[in-house]
Amino acid sequence: MSNWYSESSPLERRTFWASFGGWALDALDVQMFGLAIPALIAAFGISKADAGLLGSVTLFFGAFGGWLGGALGDRFGRVRALQITVATFALATFACAFAMSFTQLLVLKAIQGLGFGAEWACGAVLMAEIIRPEHRGKALGSVQSAWAVGWGAAVLLSALVFTYAPADIAWRLLFALGLLPALLIIFIRRGLKEPARAVASEKTPFFATLSGIFHRDVLRSTLIGGLFGIGAHGGYAALTTFLPTYLREVRHLSVLGSSGYLAVIIVAFFCGCVASGIVSDRIGRRANVAFFASACIATVLVYIFAPLTNGEMLVLGFPLGFFSAGIPASMAALFSELYPAGVRGTGVGFCYNFGRVVSAAFPFLVGFLSDHIGLGPAIGIDAAFAYSLVLIAVLLLPETRGKVFEQAAATRA
Residue 286 lies in a domain: yes
Same-domain check for residues 127 and 231: no
Same-domain check for residues 141 and 286: no
Q: At what angle do helices 48-76 and 102-130 cross, to 10 degrees?
A: 40
Same-domain check for residues 159 and 271: no
- Which pLDDT score, from 0 to 100, does residue 149 have? 87
Same-domain check for residues 220 and 340: yes
Residue 132 lies in a domain: yes
Is 225 within 8 Å of 346 (Cβ atoms)?
no
Count the alpha carbons within 13 Å of 200 in the hemisphere toward its beta carbon.
22
Same-domain check for residues 221 and 171: no
Is 242 within 8 Å of 37 (Cβ atoms)?
yes
**pLDDT in 10s for each residue of the chain, 413 residues:** 557 888 888 888 888 888 888 888 878 877 788 778 888 888 888 887 788 788 778 877 887 888 888 888 888 788 888 888 888 888 888 999 899 998 999 999 999 888 888 888 888 888 888 888 888 989 898 888 888 888 888 888 888 888 888 878 888 988 888 787 777 777 776 777 777 654 555 566 777 777 888 888 889 999 999 899 888 888 877 776 776 677 666 666 655 455 666 778 788 888 999 999 999 999 999 999 999 999 988 888 887 777 777 777 777 778 888 988 888 888 888 998 988 877 888 888 888 877 777 776 777 777 777 777 777 778 888 888 888 999 999 999 888 887 877 654 444 44
Question: Phi, psi at residue 70, to the nearest 5°?
Answer: -65, -40
**DSSP-assigned letter for residue 145:** T
Same-domain check for residues 150 and 238: no
Is 81 within 8 Å of 72 (Cβ atoms)?
yes
Same-domain check for residues 160 and 253: no
Name which of 273, 19, 24 is nearest 138 in CA terms. Answer: 273
Residue 380 lies in a domain: yes
CATH number assigned to the domain comprising residue 369: 1.20.1250.20
307-337: b (≥16 Cβ within 10 Å) or e: eeeeeebeebbbbbbbbbbbbbbbbbbbbbb
- Which pLDDT score, from 0 to 100, does residue 196 have? 63
Continuous segment of H or E residues that includes residue 113: helix 102-130
Residue 3 lies in a domain: no
Same-domain check for residues 174 and 221: no
**DSSP-assigned letter for residue 253:** -
User: C-alpha 385: how far from its chain's center?
Assistant: 19
Same-domain check for residues 251 and 170: no
Give the whole-angstrom CA distance, residue 62 versus residue 374: 28
Which residue among 184, 216, 246 closes a domain? 184
Same-domain check for residues 144 and 255: no
Question: Phi, psi at residue 61, to the nearest 5°?
Answer: -75, -25
From residue 261, alpha-carbon distances to 144, 152, 153, 317, 370 in Å are: 21, 11, 14, 7, 21
Say how many domains are in the chain. Answer: 2
Q: Nearest 10 degrees: CA dihedral of 101, 107, 113, 119?
A: -110
Same-domain check for residues 84 and 223: no
Could you list the residue range(s) of the whole structural domain that residue 149 is in?
10-184
